[in-house]
Chains A and B, each alone.
Chain A
Amino acid sequence: MGFLKYFLRRLVFLVILIIGVSLVVFIISHSVPSDPVLANLSQRNIDNEEMVEAFRTKWGLDQPKHIQYFTYIGNLAKGDMGISILTQRPVLDDLKRFFPATIELAFFAMLIAVFFGIIFGIISSLKRNSFIDQVLRFVSVIGVSVPSFWLALVFLLVFYVNLGIAPGPGRISPYFTAPPAVTNAFVLDAVIAGNWPLALNALHHLMLPALVLGMFSMGLITRTTRSSLLEVLSTDFIRTARAKGITEKLVVIRHALGNALIPVVTVIGLAFGNLLGGMVLVETIFAWPGIGQYAFKAASTLDFPAIIGVSILIAVNYLFINLLIDILYGVLDPRVRYK
């Protein structure tokens, strides 16, 4: 019952969050010293008063700001996020189109980051101050320090152009067409369609951008795992376990790791939330049609409905990821109680 109340309370908080985010983003985007008319009409038409007035009327920009906001919130309550000024499509449709590409990429990036990050962190902590520890710490520093766009270009040049072992940019190779849209995650949709060559091709195309994006998170996870595990390994109960004759492997995996993972799970959650917000530079270099590029174009053209839509999406992502992390805490540590 305690958990149910906790879960429901978080859902209620979601509504407050959406209103808060939409209000803050609305105020900020309308404070920019520019005019969406200038971004969306041609240079000739911005001198045409009739065209400018028609544009403002069409997009409700002639209304007082508070009316614009309440109209937006009223429509949002009905599930309508408005029409994008730039794409002229419903913002919700745009998000459904671009977000799955980001989810798919972020998922595989986190898979790489978590798998290698935790393993490297464990090895690093067990071989503390050894040569391998230094190497792994160096790799983790590189991961968090090197700009991802630079890494993207270098990886493409080395693995795609020079070595030819990685496919080119894009979600699939030019000689394939996209699978029938079910989730818009190409690997999953190809599997659903039973098109295994396409699924493998889509997976292959994911590897390089996922590796680039995973590097930063992997570096964070490695360092957090290492420090957390070192702390847990120095506790009394671990000393007791060793004294009882339990093998070091079991001490680490069964007794230490679970306790060490709690801060790691926090970092994973934050990193995943960050990736779900899109990485516009990496998406641009890999021609990945994700939410990052969409958000960038929306911001560049003062596309208010799209800007608010993306902001709400990112905020909701973080909220649900934090909820997921809180739930995982309870799974990892039975002492955690939900109130």
Chain B
Amino acid sequence: MVKKKLLPVIAILIVVAFLAGGCGTGEQDQGEGAPTETTDEIKQLIVAVDPDYNTFDPGLAYELYGMMVLNPVYETLVHFVDTIDVPKYGIAESHEVSEDGLVYTFKLRPGINFASGNPLTSEDVKWSIERMISLDGNGAFMAKDIASIEAPDDETVIITLTEPDASFLVKLTYNAFAAIDSALAMEHGASNDAQNDTAKLWFDNNSAGSGPYMIESYDPAVEVVLVRNDNYWGEAPYYDRISLKSIADPGTQLMMLQKGDIDIAFNLGPEHVKQLSGVEGVDILSAQSMTISFLLMNRDPAVGGPMANPDVQKAVRLALDYKEIQALAGEGAVTPVAPFQIGFLGTVPPRDPNTARDVEAAQALMEQAGYPEGFSVTLEVPTVSVEGLDLPTLAQKIQNDLLDIGITTEIVTSDIMVALDPYRSGQQAFSLWYWGPDYPDPNNQLAFLPGNSVGLRANWTTEMNPELAELGRKTAVEVDPDIRAQYLEEIQMMMDDDTAFAMLLQFARQFAVRDNIEGADYIDPYRIDLRQVREK
């Protein structure tokens, strides 16, 4: 009898052991020597983010929040400080560009050491870029025009391009071009030949940079922890420890900030920010984001139908109530004239939302186009939220505005994964999208020109506006900033008159910080430059 009862009990224990024993991991998730408890004596910054990073290998990382983490850990030849108009020197102290725009010669600052104590030399810069190119991650496209990299002496780096690239200095600000301590990295399996490189996991939990902070640990979906680099060559970092906590829900971020459990809540939407208005102990920071939202109107009559008519497209641009559209996005949102963000070189002032709408002129254009009574059209919208604004909500506002010129819009939503394919292949007649530049340079935005990648999503071909297409080509390779700015202004004026797109918004990014924090201003591409953050 006892045996009979014992067998099921043993079986229960086996099953429970299975459920429990499947847990645990052989990996050591934390850096060595991690403390198990912090104290009040440690200066700690806690930032809540909804991150998209999956790796901190600087040769592979290419996510929005990856730069926030990697910027204080690794350093580049040039980087952005406070503004994004012109890169400032980082580990380089000077540079020259050949007359043909193909050869960039950088002189490194003397006396820079990595966190390990190893000296930072031009060989490290060369090795790091070669490694990034070999790994061929998402960010490697920024190096596609690099013909060669030379390190003739310890302090000189020479990068030769295959063709001039006006945005090359901006690209160099990205972590893809960060200087890695090659000696330390190679000890842990890194190689500038991707076939032999096994260091990704090591980079996720450690770092080999020269920045003011080092990666101490990374627990996916929980937090990444940075600690001060006591060997930093520049101004000593303020914090001993920075924790970036993965908190996806903005409501949760809001509550934690109110309670003082975090110092920065980075992913608040407009509605959450409103709740914090006037709350003691909290400051709201606002800055222009680089993300834009736009309407795509297909130029191919077989796809776009009536929407393909350039007069109709212009009528749509005139019919939109930009003031109310900006109100939906929250304070600080603006409407650019063309797909060139405010803050980029050569961008003209945004539309005046009080005067940009002209329904009468729009109706006249509809008549001219042959649609005095209007028509019906489907507006395709991905179900995604951009900077806290749901695109379907924005679509409803557009639907309402277009009724004033006789266009009846049926909104059709779909998951972004499903919507991307017809968008990319130019099969959408009329759709609402968003765009974030790969790097803060107007060359990114030339993709919207006829014959370029985004232009072709609206079937806007080079033949439809060859002058504009040619101006875009000239702009892409013009290294003189004044001439380039002039070209960009011309492009925007031309697109104000003729384009397959209607710019809706350049979003503002609003987030909240404890009021004892300073230096946390928003700056693309780092989101927040954690090097600059300190207590007042």
Interface residues of A (CB under 8 A from B): 3-4, 7, 32-35, 38-39, 41-48, 51, 54, 86-89, 93-94, 96-100, 103, 153, 156-157, 160-161, 164, 168-171, 173-185, 193, 195, 197-198, 284-287, 289, 293-294, 300-302, 317, 320, 323-324, 327-328, 330-331
Within 8 A of A (CB), among B413-449: 415, 417-418, 420-421, 424, 435, 438, 447
B245 pairs with A287, CB closer than 8 A: yes
**Is B515 among interface residues, defined by CB-CB distance under 8 A?**
no
Minimal Cβ-Cβ distance residue in A for B38: A175
Contacts of A331 in B (CB 8 A): 5, 8-9, 12
A183 pairs with B36, CB closer than 8 A: no
**Is B302 among interface residues, defined by CB-CB distance under 8 A?**
no
Other-chain contact of B27, A98, A174, A181, A302 (Cβ < 8 Å): A181
Q: How far is the CA of A184 from the CA of B221 in the complex (A)?
A: 14
Q: How far is the CA of A77 from the CA of B68 in the complex (A)?
A: 40
Minimal Cβ-Cβ distance residue in B for A43: B435
Q: How far is the CA of A218 from the CA of B219 in the complex (A)?
A: 32
A327 pairs with B418, CB closer than 8 A: no
Q: In whole Å, how far is B138's beta carbon from the nearest beta carbon of chain A?
A: 5
Minimal Cβ-Cβ distance residue in A for B243: A174
Sampled A-B contacts (17; CB under 8 Å): A3-B4, A35-B420, A42-B62, A42-B138, A97-B220, A98-B221, A99-B23, A175-B39, A176-B37, A181-B29, A184-B24, A198-B37, A285-B252, A286-B252, A289-B219, A293-B221, A324-B16
A45 pairs with B138, CB closer than 8 A: yes
Q: How far is the CA of A195 from the CA of B249 in the complex (A)?
A: 30
Q: Dominant SS at the B interface?
A: mixed
A198 pairs with B38, CB closer than 8 A: no
Q: How far is the CA of A193 from the CA of B19 in the complex (A)?
A: 21
Taking A38-B424, A183-B24, A198-B36 as given, write out 7 further A-B residue pairs in contact, using a Cβ cutoff of 8 Å, ordered by the A residue number. Answer: A44-B141, A47-B424, A88-B200, A97-B25, A161-B258, A174-B261, A177-B37
**Is B251 among interface residues, defined by CB-CB distance under 8 A?**
yes
Contacts of B248 in A (CB 8 A): 284, 287, 293
A177 pairs with B35, CB closer than 8 A: yes
B30 pairs with A176, CB closer than 8 A: no
A38 pairs with B29, CB closer than 8 A: no
Contacts of B261 in A (CB 8 A): 168, 173-174
B28 pairs with A181, CB closer than 8 A: yes
B417 pairs with A38, CB closer than 8 A: yes
> 1/0 per residue B256-273: CB within 8 Å of A?
101101100000000000
Contacts of A164 in B (CB 8 A): 259
For chain B, the count of residues having a C-beta within 8 Å of the partner chain is: 66
Q: How far is the CA of A171 from the CA of B4 in the complex (A)?
A: 41
Contacts of A7 in B (CB 8 A): 11
Known A-B contacts A179-B36, A198-B37, A327-B8; the reply to A100 vs B246 at CB < 8 A is: no
Q: How far is the CA of A193 from the CA of B30 in the complex (A)?
A: 15
Contacts of A87 in B (CB 8 A): 54, 220
Contacts of A330 in B (CB 8 A): 8
B25 pairs with A96, CB closer than 8 A: yes
Minimal Cβ-Cβ distance residue in B for A319: B15
Other-chain contact of B255, A41, A99, A156, A174 (Cβ < 8 Å): A156
Known A-B contacts A174-B261, A176-B37; the reply to A289 vs B11 at CB < 8 A is: no
Contacts of A181 in B (CB 8 A): 24-25, 27-29
A320 pairs with B9, CB closer than 8 A: no
Q: In whole Å, how far is B422's beta carbon from the nearest beta carbon of chain A?
A: 10
Q: How far is the CA of A98 from the CA of B259 in the complex (A)?
A: 27
A38 pairs with B420, CB closer than 8 A: yes
A302 pairs with B62, CB closer than 8 A: no
Minimal Cβ-Cβ distance residue in B for A170: B245
B18 pairs with A320, CB closer than 8 A: yes
A184 pairs with B453, CB closer than 8 A: no
Contacts of B256 in A (CB 8 A): 168-169
Contacts of A178 in B (CB 8 A): 29-30, 219, 222
Minimal Cβ-Cβ distance residue in B for A300: B417
A54 pairs with B255, CB closer than 8 A: no
Q: In whole Å, how far is A201's beta carbon from the nearest beta carbon of chain B?
A: 10
B453 pairs with A44, CB closer than 8 A: yes
Within 8 A of A (CB), among B2-56: 4-5, 7-9, 11-12, 15-16, 18-20, 22-25, 27-30, 34-39, 44, 46, 54-55
Contacts of B252 in A (CB 8 A): 156, 169, 284-287
Q: How far is the CA of A173 from the CA of B261 in the complex (A)?
A: 8
Minimal Cβ-Cβ distance residue in B for A179: B36
Minimal Cβ-Cβ distance residue in B for A95: B22
Minimal Cβ-Cβ distance residue in A for B20: A183
Q: How far is the CA of A170 from the CA of B223 in the complex (A)?
A: 10
